[in-house]
């Protein structure tokens, strides 16, 4: 049908059709992404298996044996990485070997396992356990920039967050994050802001500009998710926080429109929607107009949904 | 169909042109001519905007349903469900007609909501007896209707699953013999479906339903495998009979099919240069090993993870090297445009594993916590 239509509209002629069909027939099936995923999950399973092995057999295998094996693997990977790395540049560096990124990732994943084990066995940091997060984080940042590795940058950001008591892995944000803690939610917001600042700085200083996306992405989500809880925790300042967050969502939305970014446009819209609903719910609770208030709320929220969807459709055309 | 046929046709042509351009099969001029020559005004945004549209609509509908509930004091849930369903369908038709939404999240959620409400309305009543088979039959009919009218793949998938469950439940009404032959009936149904769809796909008339047919076709491949997978058959058997057996009659045959079907998929995919079939085959093969491990655990989890991880690294590396030059129509070289869209996902998974690995050791120290102090995907929840 595709070719029939193209011929009918005189976009191609039958000869071109045969050429394209031949090209399609000869085109190889590309397994690039699938094979890289295979390597990636292999490394994650390998490290997961090693850390479980260490954990389960910590009293049975000789401590020295574990340390030596882990250390040698880690050092081996780092040795390979430093030996084969392309020289550092402020722009994106494409490594020569396809395996390189995965060796760096393996080394960096093993690093906290080794460090954690040494702390457990020899208390190398004494009681200053936070130093492990700090050292890991510094090492990860160094590796991320030196080897130009976005995955390791994610590790660095997570390790630095754990230094402040935050656990910002996706599963923890959903399951274990302490949303009731006054201190943690504010720290999460500030950390999110800091990451956003780093993203701007990265662009301004033109150092690894492609990293700015990772900083901005994690930063914005962390800031706005923590914001959802901050306004309810600090109830006396609810309206202040809520209006400030609505304002910031609006600014993010405008920024997304200016930069033609679907992704941030969608994120800002959804957070703004949540804040506005929170605002309406708070007003309903405050005025205590019982069922009448609830009726108005159940009418206002769908109306709000309608206007947001209208906004989505309207700006989609511009962003297109 | 609720859309103008020409709109959907142009949309599908643009999508095909986009795909061919991405694969560098057609040049930029031809691509641009295809886009400008086949204009449409459908609103079908990227995945992020779809998700956002879906969430916003869902919350809006939830409150809208609450409004209806408050109006009737939540006294007659069937009536509320019926009104909610009618309201969703009317709204869906209006917004599609006015704003031309196509797979935009909002329309998908409204469809689901309408189908859900009508199912509730039809299957909870005192007028006629309702059994499970009838419920799945209703689901199947409603979803086929939605899939046809709104060209929706997801609805087609639900319809297909409902059809399979309906067939199984009908088989169960024939007693023990029915229970025994149910897997084979599902197998025959799925195989016939796959081959019929394959034939239908080449028909020009169904060009606009290409994606819907492709999705059902992939699902039928998975259903062929699942219908004769030992784990699926054994566990369903246990659920039906309320037993805890680890063996089933004709167990050997089911183990054979559990491992042979994926191998046939992989073999056929190499012959036919079919990526979907290959990925289904690999996925099914992995499931087969997991199924086998469920009943015959040869290695502890940590060793299994360690060895499989190592095997994946080695085989992945070997295949990348081996397929550097195209072999049997497969290549490991990225001929498509480089994209950074997986970078965030990569960093998220890596950070999850890193923290989990670190906390596996960290958990052994009761008084000291770092890295968030939690156990995650590392699975280190055993007693030390």
Q: Which domain holds residue A16?
A: 1-27
- Alpha-carbon gap, residue A96 to A199, rounded angstroms: 27
Residue B157 lies in a domain: no
Cα separation, B76 vs B54, whole angstroms: 28
pLDDT at B338: 47
CA atoms within 13 A on the CB side of B78: 7
Q: Across residues A309-315, what is the average pLDDT?
A: 82
Statement: residue B348 has pLDDT above 80: no
A46/B309 touch (CB, cutoff 8 Å), yes or no = yes
The per-residue pLDDT for B344 is 57
Domain range holding B354? 341-378
In angstroms, rounded to a whole number, what is the distance separating the alpha carbons of residues A243 and A6? Answer: 53
Which residue do the tokens 């690995």 mark? B357
A203-225 residue pLDDT tens? 998 888 889 888 998 899 889 98
Span A39-90, pLDDT tens digits: 888 888 888 888 787 777 766 666 677 778 888 989 999 999 999 888 888 8
Average the pLDDT over B353-361 and give the result.
51
Closest chain B C-alpha to A257 CA, distance in angstroms: 13
Q: What is the pLDDT of residues B125-138, one digit of tens each?
A: 766 666 778 888 98
Q: Measured between CA atoms, how close is A279 to chain B, in angstroms?
A: 15
Listed residues A102, A137, A163: the one ending a domain: A163
Q: Would residue B312 count as lying in a domain?
A: yes
pLDDT reported for residue B360: 47
Overall number of domains in chain B: 2
Domains in chain A, number? 2
pLDDT band at residue A1 using 50, 70 and 90 as cut-offs: confident
What's the pLDDT tens digit per position in B47-60?
A: 878 888 899 999 88
For B54, the closest chain A residue by CA position comes to A309
Whether residue B353 is contained in a domain is answered as: yes
Residues A37 and A156 both lie in one domain: yes
ipTM: 0.74
CB contact under 8 A, B312 and A38: yes
pLDDT tens readout for residues A249-269:
999 888 888 888 888 888 888
What's the pLDDT tens digit per position in B19-42?
Answer: 888 888 888 888 888 888 888 888
Q: What is the mean pLDDT of chain B?
A: 82
pLDDT digits (tens, 9 = 90+) for B310-321: 898 889 888 888
Residues A52 and A23 in one domain: no
Say whether both A74 and A20 belong to one domain: no
Q: String of b and e for A270-282 (b: at least 16 CB within 10 Å)? A: bbbbbbbbbbbeb
Contacts of B48 in chain A (CB under 8 A): 262-263, 266-267
Strand pairing report for B330-331 and A29-30: parallel
Residue where one domain finishes, among candidates A163, A198, A221: A163
**pLDDT reported for residue B345:** 58
Q: What pLDDT is stored for residue B383 in this prediction?
A: 29
Quote the CA–CA distance of B114 and A225 in Å, as a whole number: 31
Task: Specify if B9 maps to a domain.
Answer: no
Same domain, A55 and A12: no
Looking at residue B132, its pLDDT comes to 78
> Of B347 and A221, which is predicted with more confidence?
A221
DSSP letter string, A167-217: --SHHHHHHT--TT-HHHHHHHHHHHHHHHHHHHHHHHHTSSGGGHHHHHH
Considering only CB atoms, B313 lies closest to which of A2, A42, A214, namely A42
Query: pLDDT (tens digit, 9 = 90+) per residue, B236-257?
Result: 888 888 888 778 888 889 999 9
A178 has a pLDDT exceeding 70: no
The pTM of the full predicted model, rounded to 2 decimals, is 0.78
Percent of chain A topping pLDDT 90: 13
Give the pLDDT band of residue A176 (cuts 50, 70, 90). low
């Amino acid at each position: 049908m595709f070719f029939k239509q193209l011929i009918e509209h005189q976009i191609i002629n039958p000869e071109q059709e045969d050429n394209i069909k031949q090209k399609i027939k000869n085109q190889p099936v590309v397994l690039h992404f699938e094979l890289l995923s295979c390597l990636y999950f292999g490394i994650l399973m390998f490290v997961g298996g090693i850390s479980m092995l260490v954990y389960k057999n910590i009293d049975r295998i000789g401590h020295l044996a574990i340390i030596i094996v882990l250390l040698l693997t880690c050092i081996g990977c780092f040795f390979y990485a430093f030996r084969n790395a392309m020289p550092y540049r402020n722009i994106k560096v494409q490594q020569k070997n396809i395996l390189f990124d995965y060796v760096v990732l393996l080394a960096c994943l093993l690093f906290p396992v080794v460090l954690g084990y040494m702390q457990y066995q020899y208390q190398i940091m004494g009681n200053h356990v936070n130093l492990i997060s700090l050292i890991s984080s510094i090492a990860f940042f160094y590796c991320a920039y030196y080897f130009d590795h976005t995955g390791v940058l994610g590790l660095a950001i997570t390790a630095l967050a754990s230094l402040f008591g935050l656990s910002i892995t996706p599963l923890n944000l959903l399951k274990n994050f302490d949303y009731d803690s006054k201190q943690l939610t504010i720290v999460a917001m500030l950390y999110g802001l800091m990451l956003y600042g780093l993203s701007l700085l990265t662009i301004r200083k033109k150092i690894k500009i492609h990293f700015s996306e990772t900083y901005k992405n994690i930063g914005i989500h962390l800031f706005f998710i923590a914001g959802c809880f901050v306004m309810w925790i600090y109830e006396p300042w609810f309206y202040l926080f809520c209006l400030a967050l609505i304002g910031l969502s609006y600014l993010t939305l405008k920024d997304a429109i200016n930069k033609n970014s679907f992704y941030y446009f969608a994120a800002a819209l959804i957070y703004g929607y949540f804040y506005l609903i929170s605002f309406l719910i708070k007003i309903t609770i405050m005025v205590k107009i019982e069922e009448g208030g609830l009726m108005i709320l159940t009418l206002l929220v769908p109306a709000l949904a309608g206007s947001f969807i209208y906004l989505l459709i309207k700006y989609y055309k511009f962003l297109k | 169909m609720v859309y103008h046929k020409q709109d959907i046709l142009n949309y599908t042509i643009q999508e095909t042109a986009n795909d061919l351009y991405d694969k560098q099969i057609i040049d930029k001029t031809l691509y641009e001519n295809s886009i400008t020559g086949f204009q449409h005004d459908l609103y079908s945004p990227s995945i992020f905007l779809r998700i956002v549209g879906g969430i916003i609509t869902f919350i809006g509908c939830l409150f809208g349903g609450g409004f209806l509930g408050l109006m009737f004091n939540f006294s007659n849930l069937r009536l509320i469900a019926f009104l909610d369903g009618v309201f969703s369908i009317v709204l869906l038709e209006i917004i599609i007609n006015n704003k031309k939404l196509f797979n935009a999240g909002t329309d998908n959620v409204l469809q689901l909501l309408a189908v859900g409400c009508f199912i509730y309305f039809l299957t909870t009543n005192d007028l006629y007896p309702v059994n499970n088979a009838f419920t799945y039959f209703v689901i199947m009919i409603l979803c086929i209707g939605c899939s046809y009218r709104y060209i929706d793949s997801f609805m087609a998938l639900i319809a297909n699953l409902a059809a399979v469950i309906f067939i199984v439940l009908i088989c169960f009404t024939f007693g023990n013999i029915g229970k025994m032959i149910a897997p084979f009936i599902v197998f025959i149904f799925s195989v016939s479906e796959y081959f019929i769809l394959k034939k239908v796909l080449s028909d020009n008339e169904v060009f606009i339903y290409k994606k819907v047919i492709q999705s059902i076709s992939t699902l039928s491949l998975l259903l062929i495998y699942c219908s004769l997978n030992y784990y699926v058959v054994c566990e369903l058997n246990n659920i039906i009979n309320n037993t805890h057996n680890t063996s089933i009659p004709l167990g050997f045959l089911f183990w054979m099919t559990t491992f042979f079907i994926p191998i046939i998929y992989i073999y056929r995919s190499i012959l036919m240069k079919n990526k979907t079939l290959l990925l289904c085959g690999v996925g099914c093969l992995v499931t087969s090993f997991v199924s086998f491990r469920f009943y015959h655990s040869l290695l502890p989890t940590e060793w299994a993870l360690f060895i499989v991880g190592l095997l994946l690294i080695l085989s992945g590396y070997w295949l990348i090297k081996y397929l550097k030059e195209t072999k049997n129509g497969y290549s490991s070289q990225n001929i498509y445009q480089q994209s950074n869209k997986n970078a965030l996902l990569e960093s998220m998974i890596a950070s999850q594993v890193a923290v989990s690995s670190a906390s596996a050791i960290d958990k052994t120290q009761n008084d000291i916590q770092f890295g968030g102090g939690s156990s995650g995907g590392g699975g280190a929840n055993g007693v030390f």
